Amino acid sequence: MDRWNGKIAVVTRAGSSLAQEIIKELIKYGMIVVGLSFRYNSMDDIKEFLDIENAPGIFYPRVCNIKYKEDIEETLNWVKHHFGSLNVLVNNTGYLSIDDITEIDYNDYVESKEISIYGVSNCAIHAAKLMKDNPKHESHILNVNSDINLRFPEETKKFSDFIYEMSTNLVRDFVETQDIFLSSKTPITDIVPFPFQFEPSKMPILREEDVAAAVISALSTPYDYSGCEILKKHNYAWIKPVGDT
C-alpha cells in the first residue's frame, strides 16, 4: 500500500457504514479521500475518527447525489481542480426497495435504475477520464457489487430483489466491458461480499471490516494482476493479468 500514500481516492455513498470502514482504511494508509454522499452530516463519523486516531490521510466530505450526472461532473471537476488527478475510485453504491410486485412504486424502480446502474456507470466513466493521464501503477477502479441472486432461493425473493439483481448484473457486465478498454492502464476489481451482515444471524456473515480488507487487498495486488472479481463467499479471488480479456 506504500505506493498509494498521498494519492487521491473517491468513495461513493460515504455515509454508509460500509463505505466509512473503507474510507478509514484508506486514510490509515495515508490516502487523500474524497467521500461522496447526498447528505453532508452522514459523514460526521469519519471526521470524528480522524480527530481521535490522528490518521496520516486526509478526508474531504462532498455532497454529491450520483444519480445526477451534473453532480458527478461537478464533483470530479472539483477533484481535478484541487488535486490534478484521481488515482482510486471505490464505487460503493446501490439501491434496493423492499416491496412486493403488486406494491412496488414506479419511482422506486426508477430510483434503483438511476443509482445502481447510471450512477455507478457515470462515476466510473468520469473517473476513468481523470485517471487516463496517470502513470502506470497509479490508478485502480473498484466496484463493491452484490450477488443477491446467490443469497436466496428463487421462491423466497421479492420482486424488488429481481430488479436489484438485474442492476448488479448490468454493473458486472459494465465492469467487464470497462476492463477490456481500460485494464491496459487501470486495473478493475469487482468485490462481491456474500453473505453480508444483514443476513440471518445463524449464517456465517461478513462484517464491514472484511469488505474494507478486501479493498485494501485488491489495492495491494501487484500492478501486473487485475483483481477481476473478489468473491468473498469462499474466500478466493479470480485474478488475471492486466490487459488480458
For residue 90, the model assigns a pLDDT of 95
For residue 134, the model assigns a pLDDT of 79
Read off the amino acid at residue 153: P
Mean pLDDT across 169-187: 61
Nearest to 205 by CA among 194, 215, 216, 213: 194
For residue 176, the model assigns a pLDDT of 60
Mean pLDDT across 23-35: 94
Instruction: Quick: pLDDT tens for 39-98.
Output: 888 888 777 777 667 788 999 999 998 888 899 999 999 999 999 999 999 998 655 444
* Domain residue ranges in the chain: 2-239
For residue 235, the model assigns a pLDDT of 39
Mean pLDDT of the chain: 73
The kind and range of the H/E element at 126 are helix 120-131
Mean pLDDT across 139-163: 59
Give yes or no for residue 197 having a pLDDT over 80. no
Q: What does the DSSP assignment read for 8-39?
A: EEEESSTTSHHHHHHHHHHHHTT-EEEEEES-
For residue 146, the model assigns a pLDDT of 60
The kind and range of the H/E element at 51 are helix 44-53
The top-level CATH class assigned to 2-239 is alpha beta
For residue 207, the model assigns a pLDDT of 76
| pTM of full prediction above 0.85 | no
Stronger pLDDT, 25 or 230, i.e. the higher one = 25
For residue 156, the model assigns a pLDDT of 44
> Sign of the C-alpha dihedral, residues 36, 39, 42, 44?
positive
Residue 128 — φ and ψ, nearest 5°?
-60, -35
Q: Is the peptide bond before 153 cis (omega within 30 degrees of 0)?
A: no
For residue 177, the model assigns a pLDDT of 62
The Cα–Cα gap between 92 and 17 comes to 11
Q: How many CB atoms lie within 10 A of CB 151?
A: 18
Share of the chain above pLDDT 90, in %: 24
The Cα–Cα gap between 217 and 1 comes to 9
Q: Scanning the structure block, which residue is given the C-alpha cell 487523500?
A: 32
What contacts 230, CB < 8 A, 6 or more positions away? Answer: 189, 190, 191, 192, 214, 217, 218, 237, 238
Could you tell me how many residues make up the chain? Answer: 245
Whether 105 contacts 22, CB under 8 Å: no
Query: Helix or strand or coil: residue 228?
Result: strand
Query: Helix or strand or coil: residue 60?
Result: strand
The Cα–Cα gap between 102 and 40 comes to 35
What pLDDT band is residue 187 in, cutting at 50, 70 and 90?
Answer: confident
Give yes or no for residue 190 having a pLDDT over 70. yes
Mean pLDDT across 122-134: 85
Grid cell in block for residue 110: 426508477
What pLDDT band is residue 28 in, cutting at 50, 70 and 90?
Answer: very high
Grid cell in block for residue 200: 440471518
Stronger pLDDT, 126 or 168, i.e. the higher one = 126
